[in-house]
Amino acid sequence: MSDSGERKQPLNVVLYWHMHQPDYRDLRNGHYHLPWTYLHTIKDYVDMAAHLENQPGARAVVNFAPVLLEQIQDYSLQLKEHLKGGKALRDPLLAALADPVLHLDSDARLTLVKACLRANRQRLIERFEPFKTLAEMAELVIEQPEKLPYYSEQFFIDLLVWYHLSWIGETVRKRDGRIKALMARETRFTICDRHCLVEVIDELISGVLGRYKALAEAGRIELSMTPYAHPIIPLLIDFNSAQQAMPGVEMPLSPAYPDGLERSRWHMQKGIEVFQQIFGLTPAGCWPSEGAVSSETIELIDEMGLKWLASGETVLRNSLQKSVGDEDKNGECIQKAYQYRDRAVTCFFRDDGLSDLIGFKYADWHADDAVANLIHHLENVSESCAGQPDRLVSIILDGENAWEYYPENGYYFLSALYEKLVQHEGIQLTTYSEYLSVPREQARVDEIVAGSWVYGTLSTWIGEADKNRAWDMLVDAKQAYDRTVAERRLDRQQLQRATTQLATCESSDWFWWMGEYNSAESVASFDEQFRMHLGNLYQILGVTPPEYLAKAFSFGSGTPAMGGAMLPGQQQ
């Protein structure tokens, strides 16, 4: 019997981009410790919106962590108050660019030099000859700091300008006359030049969320949310969930995170609230932080009334293997929607192979070859799943960190990707809500093996000595919070501050970066911030912080691919 009629049905494909940065602010004063939120905004979030705007037939799902949305709004407010009211900026790197006078002693100058080298060497520094020259001078003075007094203020000004120019989105670089003029000037930038660049940065940051909202309102993208501060929900609910995919893994000394289910519910409710406030929309779907799910996580998301969620392929495969009668014995097509038991929420799962091609392989390919290769793989999936009209491929990955490894911030790859996918008669770009807008057959999965999109386990956040130590420190702080709240020692404002600070402490990022396999610089930075946030919580509670917060406890010595900011779906 021929199934050619089935083959003619296009393959549903969802491109799902996840945007996330942890809260880099010291919540006591609003000062930023790292600049990645505003730098990724002016480069990646702006470019990703522009590529979708440029291709009317394209469809995608875009996820924003709520704590990232709040920071983007905060930068917008800072810049407005600075440009219109002369108020000081609370990010030291952005302030150095914006302030007419460089208030830099020797230590501050060396810190600035190091900060302006935190960029992809090949794609962001060596691409621009003036920046390359400045970077070589910067590296020399780091090696020989005694030469620092001989570096003029103009050097630091030019280094600052070029650093920010290199982080400007490619779609802006190709169109904005002000950026073109600054790049053509090359050197000896003036106060007026810096002011002009700050104005461009202000426009990009202040306008970016509105652009995504407009795309969503036009039906061209779907926006989704993540639990508020990006915690690993399965671990908040139950540390032992880590053992489902990693039997015998070392665990923290603490048996559980106190009231973890209630804290997880708080993060979900707060995340939805922030999403509604900023976009004026109610999200239909959720990317649980790092795609980390467990049976309890799915039940919580279903309880919140969300229509769909997404996770990693290895989580699906582990769960199918455990589910009686659902084991994938015959190479059955798994590219489809799933229902966990009788829960109403639909579960989608990442295609690790295709997603990781974009995240880790195609950066070194010619854009047209990469897109052709991806389409060839999609055609193979369509052929192998030809008998299933409801088949759907989920390509899910980081929407911000991959592009600095591509030529020109992935401009040619992303342009070709959307264009060729839209033109292909056998492929239908869609969103999850659009896909679910008509009745769909959903496969049932009766068991969920807790894990994430990274290796299908929770090993990135628990099981290693430093990560486990961080959990024990967090448990200590949560117990202090619970005691203080129970004793009613906080007024309403203090309770709100303490709860928000606790949420920041619960973020996944601190645990991601702990461990010797990460770089020394990254581990030191995130170790310090984690301890700072815990210390802030104790201060708000009026409780003496434990002595161990005064000392670093995690030390890195590794050189991970892509700086450790991205990991593949399957362990290599």
- The pLDDT value recorded for residue 566 is 56
Residue pair 251/83 in contact by the 8 Å Cβ criterion: no
**Three-state DSSP state, 339:** strand
pLDDT at 331 over 80: no
Cα–Cα separations (whole angstroms), residue 397 to 353, 359, 360, 373: 11, 7, 10, 18
In a domain, 409, yes or no: no
Residue pair 461/235 in contact by the 8 Å Cβ criterion: yes
DSSP string, 188-242: ---HHHHHHHHHHHHHHHHHHHHHHHHHHHTTSEEEEE--TT---HHHHH-GGGG
Neighbours of 238 (CB within 10 A): 21
Instruction: Show the domain range for 111.
Output: 32-39+67-216
Average pLDDT, integer, range 430-456? 96
pLDDT at 497 over 50: yes
Cα–Cα dist 457/450, whole Å: 7
Average pLDDT, integer, range 483-498? 97
pLDDT at 9 over 60: yes
- Give the max Cα distance, the chain: 82
**Three-state DSSP state, 338:** strand
In a domain, 541, yes or no: no
Q: Which residue type, as a one-letter code, is found at position 308? A: W
Choice among 89-93, 101-105, 281-285, 428-432 with the minimum mean pLDDT: 101-105
Question: CA 519: distance to chain centroid?
Answer: 19
**Three-state DSSP state, 310:** strand
pTM of the model as a whole: 0.95
- Residues contacting residue 372 through CB under 8 Å, at least 6 positions apart: 420
Q: What is the DSSP letter of 14?
A: E
Residue 515: band (very low, low, confident or very high) from pLDDT cuts 50, 70, 90: confident
Rg value, the chain, Cα: 24
> pLDDT by residue (tens digit) across 95-132?
999 999 997 888 899 999 999 999 999 999 999 999 99
Residue 325: band (very low, low, confident or very high) from pLDDT cuts 50, 70, 90: low
Q: Which residue type, as a one-letter code, is found at position 128? A: F
pLDDT at 460 over 50: yes
Nearest CA to 470 out of 548, 547, 383 is that of 548
pLDDT at 1 over 50: no
In a domain, 378, yes or no: no
Number of helices and strands in the chain (H, E): 23, 12
> pLDDT by residue (tens digit) across 10-38?
999 999 999 999 999 999 999 999 999 99
DSSP string, 397-425: EESSSSGGGSGGGGHHHHHHHHHHHHH-T
Choice among 6-15, 252-261, 500-509 with the minimum mean pLDDT: 6-15
Nearest CA to 445 out of 351, 299, 344, 338 is that of 338
> pLDDT by residue (tens digit) across 425-436?
999 999 999 999
- Residues contacting residue 45 through CB under 8 Å, at least 6 positions apart: 19, 72, 208, 399, 400
**Three-state DSSP state, 88:** coil
259 backbone dihedrals φ, ψ, rounded to 5°:
55, 40
Cα–Cα dist 440/12, whole Å: 12
DSSP string, 140-189: HHHH-GGGGGGS-HHHHHHHHHHHHHHTS-HHHHTT-HHHHHHHHH-S--
Q: What share of the chain is helix, strand, coil (3-state, %, to 5)?
A: 55, 10, 35
Neighbours of 361 (CB within 10 A): 12
In a domain, 117, yes or no: yes
- The pLDDT value recorded for residue 329 is 47
Choice among 7-21, 184-198, 271-285, 367-381 with the minimum mean pLDDT: 7-21
In a domain, 546, yes or no: no
pLDDT at 327 over 90: no
Neighbours of 212 (CB within 10 A): 21
- The pLDDT value recorded for residue 320 is 96
Structure token digits, residue 136? 């070589």
Mean of all residue pLDDT scores within the chain: 95
Percent of all residues in the chain with a pLDDT value above 90, rounded to a whole number: 90
- The pLDDT value recorded for residue 480 is 98
Q: What is the DSSP letter of 330?
A: S
Residue 184: band (very low, low, confident or very high) from pLDDT cuts 50, 70, 90: very high
pLDDT at 6 over 70: no
**Three-state DSSP state, 449:** coil
- The pLDDT value recorded for residue 381 is 96
In a domain, 200, yes or no: yes
Cα–Cα dist 233/253, whole Å: 19
Residue pair 213/279 in contact by the 8 Å Cβ criterion: yes
Structure token digits, residue 559? 């050189």
pLDDT at 177 over 70: yes
pLDDT at 307 over 70: yes
Residue pair 355/299 in contact by the 8 Å Cβ criterion: no
In a domain, 559, yes or no: no
pLDDT at 404 over 90: yes
**Three-state DSSP state, 300:** helix
**Three-state DSSP state, 347:** strand
Domain count, the chain: 1
pLDDT at 335 over 50: yes
In a domain, 195, yes or no: yes
pLDDT at 2 over 50: no
- Do strands 11-19 and 60-64 pair parallel, antiparallel, or not at all (unpaired)? parallel
For 183, half-sphere exposure in the C-beta direction (CA atoms, 13 angstrom radius) is 19
